[in-house]
Amino acid sequence: MAQTVLVTGGAGYIGSHACKALRDAGFVPVTYDNLCTGWQQAVKFGPFEQGDLLDRARLDEVFARHKPVAVMHFAALSQVGEAMAQPGKYWRGNVSASLSLIEAALAAGVRDFVFSSTCATYGDHDGVVLDENTPQLPLNAYGASKRAIEDMLKDFGASDGLRSVIFRYFNVAGADPDGEVGEFHQPETHLVPLILDAIDGKRPALTIHGTDYPTPDGTCIRDYVHVMDLVDAHVLGLRHLLDGKVAAGGHEVFCLGTGNGFSVREVIDQSGHVTNRPVPVSEGPRRAGDAVKLVSGSEKAVAVLGWNPARSTMPQMIRDAWRWHQNGGYDG
C-alpha cells in the first residue's frame, strides 16, 4: 500500500511541486495548509486538509485520519523584508507553529521529518562559498526563526528519537514544465517573477534593491535552484529517512545550491535574453536584512543522496518560469 506523507504548506510554491514529485514517486501527499499564502487550486496531487499549525486539535485529527509515515514541513512565512518589520509574526508563525507540529507528530508516533530551512540562516561570510558546516549567523528574523526550528528538531531528536533531514535552500526559481503548478505569490516579492512582471507590463519596472554592494556589479549575489530539482532532493531525503539511513535521534543537513552565483543584474540580463524582451529597471536603496552573497555547493547532497540538479541552469529556470507566467497562475 502506498505510504502517506503529511506535507505542510502543500498549497504553496515549493510544497505543491513537492506533492507532485511525491505522487510521481508512489507516495500519497496529504496537504495541510491554512491558505494564508497558498492556493487551494495548487493542491492537485493528493488530499487537502485545511488547518493551521497552531491548531493542535486539528493537527491531531489529521494525523489520526491519514496515518502518515513522515512529515515534510514547508509551511512558513518567508519574506526577509516582512520579517524585519514584523518579527513577532515570524517567531509565532514559524517557530511556535513548528513546535506544535513536531509535538503533534511525536504524539502520533511519527518520527521522520523533512524540513525546509534556508541559506538565510547563514548571514554574511565575506563572500565565501557556504557549506553545511559554515556557522549560522542570521541577519534577519526569517533566518533566525528557521535556525531555531533546526535547533528544535535536534533537541527532539535527543529527547524523543526524532530523525530529521534538514535542507538549507538557496534561491528557488522555475516551475513545473508541465504547467500544472508554478510560483504565484500575492503580493509577489521574489526576483524572477517580479522581473517577468516588469517584462510583460504587469508592473512598471523591476527595482534593484541596492547597487552599492561589494560585488563586481554592485548588486547582491544568489545561488538559484530549479524548483523541480529542489523537490527531487526532498524525495531522496525522505527515502534516506525511511530506509533507516539516519539513526534514531539523528539529523542530517544538506545545502541545496549549485555553487553558481548570479547577481541581480545578471538575472535581469538573462531574463531579457531568454524572453527576448526588454526589462524595465529602476535602481533603489538596499533592502534591510539582505546578505551580500549567498552561494553554496551541493557536494554533500550529490554524494550522500545522489542528487543531480541538472535543470538548475538560469536559462532553464527563466524559460519554465516564463511559460508558467504567461499561461498559469491561480485566481484565489
Q: Which grid coordinates belong to 81?
A: 523584508
Distances (CA, A) of 83 to 3, 120, 144, 157, 291: 36, 12, 10, 28, 14
Residues 5/72, Cβ–Cβ less than 8 Å: yes
CB 80 to ligand UDP: min, Å: 5
CB 186 to ligand UDP: min, Å: 15
Residue 220 binds ligand UDP (CB under 6 A): yes
CB 277 to ligand UDP: min, Å: 18
Residues 59-118 contacting ligand UDP, CB under 6 A: 80
Annotated active-site residue 142? The verdict is: yes
Residue 209 binds ligand UDP (CB under 6 A): yes
Buried b (16+ CB within 10 A) or exposed e, 43-60: bbbbebbebbbeeeebbe
CA atoms of 178 and 60, how far apart (whole Å):
35
Catalytic residue among 13, 122, 142, 169: 142
Q: Closer CB to ligand UDP, residue 102 or residue 119?
A: 119
Of the candidates 223, 215, 216, 217, the residue with the CA atom closest to the CA atom of residue 292: 215
Binding mask 260-279 for ligand UDP (x = CB under 6 A): ----x---------------
Residue 139 binds ligand UDP (CB under 6 A): no
Residue 190 binds ligand UDP (CB under 6 A): yes
Of the candidates 72, 74, 66, 64, the residue with the CA atom closest to the CA atom of residue 1: 66
Residue indicated by cell numbers 540538479: 309
Residue 191 binds ligand UDP (CB under 6 A): yes
Contact footprint for ligand UDP (CB under 6 A): 80, 171, 189-191, 194, 206-209, 220, 222, 264, 287, 290
Query: Which residue numbers are catalytic?
Result: 142
